[in-house]
Amino acid sequence: MSDSAGGVRGRDFTGYRIAGAIAALIFLFLLAWQVVLLFAADSTVRPEVAIRAAGDSPGMHSGMIAAETLAARTRLLDERFRTGPSPEAEVPALAEGRANLDSESMTDGSAYTRAWSVPTEDEAAMMHQPDRIEGISSLPYSNAALFERPFGRDWRIGMSDIITHMGALAILGMAFLLSAVLALRGRVPIRQGKSGRRVHRFGFVERGTHWMTALSFLGLSFTGIAIAYGETLFVPLGERAMGTLGWWSTWGHVLFAPTFFLGLIVMAVMWTAKNLPSKLDIQWIAKGGGFFSDSGDHPPARKFNAGQKMVFWSAILGGLIMVATGVTLMFPYYWLDLAGMSWAMLIHAAIAVLLIAVFLAHIYIGSVGMHGAIDAMWSGKVDRNWAEEHHSLWLREVDPKKERTP
Amino acid sequence: MKAFVTAVAVVGFSAVLTYVGLVTFDQSTAQRYEDGSVVLLDHPTSWEVD
């Protein structure tokens, strides 16, 4: 549709609808894939090889001598790693390699881990120490013998299962919904077409702050998605790709944070007064913002309508929670202990996926979703007819004498 | 357009500044608390158990 034709439908709008339909199909496929993953079995670690000292009868898997021998060898390796080769030094007898160890594949290794990974009530009560389940390990890192902390397990389920899957559903679901709206509804047109006369809506500082926050948010979102979903998205591209993208994402995620925080503060100072709730908002929400039909009244709005107010408060409140939790994770143990940081990470991840879903909608309606909307933040000037339809009360405030231009 | 380009410049400059700042003052958590003021592992290591 040409801007000056005055119509609300045309070839351009049809093109957008076709693109929306294609995108909707793609997102529907991804959503279905995500649902399959949601119900797939969890990955677990289970023993595959049994090691025992020669002399144990084949049916016995006590393996105590084997465990002692492995621990002695590991300790020796650890010492040698730190001190360098020491051919003159005495080698502990057990680590010397004289004790022969046999190994064989285990038919059902999960029987050994089931007791503590999926304990019965009695087993759990028996093993349950204050907040951890410990065993014996010869692995050369210090917490290898700590099999599980109940809180750590709950945290892992919260991160890996609930937030990761629900986040993917929220983001892909929102993307599908928006694509479907574009396919079925098309772009929200300027009903009267563009008038060719523009009115000033956002100043340079307002637009600059918006874009600074938006670019930071995009940077944080992409790097955050790489951190949270990298294994699914990048491992198929190769381990090198995952390593490189993971490294850049971990750094990049921190680098975008200062401008994001600065943007939030400046936006809060500039726009909070105009985003306080009012009675007009109820009317606007009741009419769905006038988005779902080309006929009927557009609900009146001042500078910001109820939808924009919701986006504003999502950005400010959600963003401040993200900054607060994010900063505590940037500086481990400065303010919070392990439990506190675990909570911070859970909250950070949960709010993050919700914010990404909300801002997908904001990006959509500010660009392809609505004809003429992008001008407000790009040039700062909007068409008078657009302003009349979406912000009629604001238009009268800033330009009281002029009536709508046909 | 000008506002967008300015924002790109500000975000890029801030990212470089942050990177330089972090690299300059980088310190691992283990180094920071090597005086034992914070217990990073609140359980014994495997060979301390032996």
Reported as a single tens digit per residue, the pLDDT across A339-397 is 899 999 999 999 999 999 999 999 999 999 888 888 899 999 999 888 888 888 899 88
Backbone angles phi, psi at A277, to 5 degrees: -65, 150
Q: Are residues A34 and A58 in the same domain?
A: no
Cα–Cα distance measured from residue A74 to residue A284, given in angstroms and rounded to the nearest whole number: 69
Contact A141, A78 (CB under 8 A): no
ipTM tops the 0.85 cut? no
CA angle A94/A148/A225 to nearest 5° reads: 120
Q: Are residues A78 and A226 in the same domain?
A: no
Q: Are residues A99 and A245 in the same domain?
A: no
Domain membership of residue A202 (yes or no) is yes
Q: Are residues A319 and A258 in the same domain?
A: yes
- Has residue A2 got a pLDDT over 50? no
Residue A254 sits in which domain range?
11-41+153-398
Q: Are residues A182 and A319 in the same domain?
A: yes
Q: For residue A313, give the nearest of A266, A260, A267 by alpha carbon.
A: A267
Q: For residue A164, give the nearest of A333, A43, A316 by alpha carbon.
A: A43
In which element (H, E) is residue A101 found? Answer: strand A101-105
Contact A383, A205 (CB under 8 A): no
Closest CA of chain B from A79, distance in Å:
12
Closest CA of chain A from B12, distance in Å:
9
The pLDDT value recorded for residue A126 is: 67
The pLDDT value recorded for residue A83 is: 77
Chain B residues whose beta carbon lies within 8 Å of the beta carbon of residue A82: none
- The residue in chain B having the minimum alpha-carbon distance to the alpha carbon of residue A78 is B47
- The residue in chain A having the minimum alpha-carbon distance to the alpha carbon of residue B29 is A332
Is the CA virtual torsion A123, A129, A130, A133 positive or negative? negative
Domain membership of residue A137 (yes or no) is no
Chain B residues whose beta carbon lies within 8 Å of the beta carbon of residue A338: 42
Cα–Cα distance measured from residue A220 to residue A231, given in angstroms and rounded to the nearest whole number: 18
Q: Are residues A220 and A367 in the same domain?
A: yes
A276 shares contact with chain B (CB less than 8 Å): no
Contact A218, A323 (CB under 8 A): no
Q: Are residues A339 and A355 in the same domain?
A: yes
Query: Residue A51: is it exposed, middle or buried by C-beta count within 10 angstroms (0-12/13-18/19+)?
Result: middle
Under an 8 A CB cutoff, do B50 and A71 touch?
yes
In three-state secondary structure terms, A102 is strand
- The residue in chain B having the minimum alpha-carbon distance to the alpha carbon of residue A142 is B45
Contacts of A374 (CB under 8 A, 6+ apart): A366, A367
Strands (E), A123-268: 133-134, 146-148, 198-200
Cα–Cα distance measured from residue A36 to residue A322, given in angstroms and rounded to the nearest whole number: 30
Q: Are residues A26 and A56 in the same domain?
A: no
In three-state secondary structure terms, A195 is coil
Domain membership of residue A300 (yes or no) is yes
Cα–Cα distance measured from residue A191 to residue A386, given in angstroms and rounded to the nearest whole number: 8
Under an 8 A CB cutoff, do B6 and A208 touch?
yes
The chain-wide mean pLDDT, for chain A, equals: 83
- Has residue A57 got a pLDDT over 80? no
- Has residue A401 got a pLDDT over 70? no
Closest CA of chain B from A87, distance in Å:
23
Is the CA virtual torsion A210, A383, A197, A404 positive or negative? negative
Q: Which residues pair with A51 in a beta bridge?
A: A103
Contacts of A254 (CB under 8 A, 6+ apart): A330, B18, B22
pLDDT (mean) for A26-37: 92
- Has residue A59 got a pLDDT over 60? no
pLDDT band at A239 (very low <50, low <70, confident <90, very high): confident
The pLDDT value recorded for residue B50 is: 42
Cα–Cα distance measured from residue A387 to residue B4, given in angstroms and rounded to the nearest whole number: 22
**What pLDDT digit, counting tens, does each position of A182-197 carry?**
998 888 888 888 888 8
Closest CA of chain A from B9, distance in Å:
9
Identity of the residue in A134, A207, A378 whose CB atom sits nearest the CB atom of B43: A134
Beta carbons within 10 angstroms of residue A364's beta carbon = 20
**One-letter-per-residue 3-state SS of A295-315:** CCCCCCCCCCCHHHHHHHHHH
pLDDT band at A306 (very low <50, low <70, confident <90, very high): very high
| Of the listed ranges A47-61, A68-82, A162-176, A334-348, the one predicted with least confidence | A47-61
CA dihedral A26, A27, A28, A31 (to 10 degrees): 130
The pLDDT value recorded for residue A12 is: 64
Contact A135, A145 (CB under 8 A): yes
In three-state secondary structure terms, A52 is strand
Under an 8 A CB cutoff, do B7 and A142 touch?
no
Closest CA of chain B from A35, distance in Å:
37
Q: What's the distance, CA A170 to chain centroid? A: 10
Closest CA of chain B from A225, distance in Å:
19
A367 shares contact with chain B (CB less than 8 Å): no
Residue A247 sits in a domain whose CATH number is: 1.20.950.20
Domain membership of residue A379 (yes or no) is yes
- The residue in chain A having the minimum alpha-carbon distance to the alpha carbon of residue B14 is A259
B46 shares contact with chain A (CB less than 8 Å): yes
Under an 8 A CB cutoff, do B4 and A211 touch?
yes
Q: Which of A105, A122, A140 is the last residue of a domain?
A: A105
Q: What's the distance, CA A152 to chain centroid? A: 20
**Residue that the structure tokens 């955050």 belong to:** A224
Count the domains in chain A. Answer: 2
Domain membership of residue A266 (yes or no) is yes
Q: How many residues does chain A have?
A: 406
Query: Residue B19: is it exposed, middle or buried by C-beta count within 10 angstroms (0-12/13-18/19+)?
Result: middle
Q: Are residues A77 and A221 in the same domain?
A: no
Cα–Cα distance measured from residue B38 to residue B29, given in angstroms and rounded to the nearest whole number: 10
Q: Are residues A233 and A266 in the same domain?
A: yes
CA distance to A24, A288, B22, per residue, from A184 (Å): 10, 16, 49
pLDDT (mean) for A219-225: 95
A79 shares contact with chain B (CB less than 8 Å): no
pLDDT band at A21 (very low <50, low <70, confident <90, very high): very high
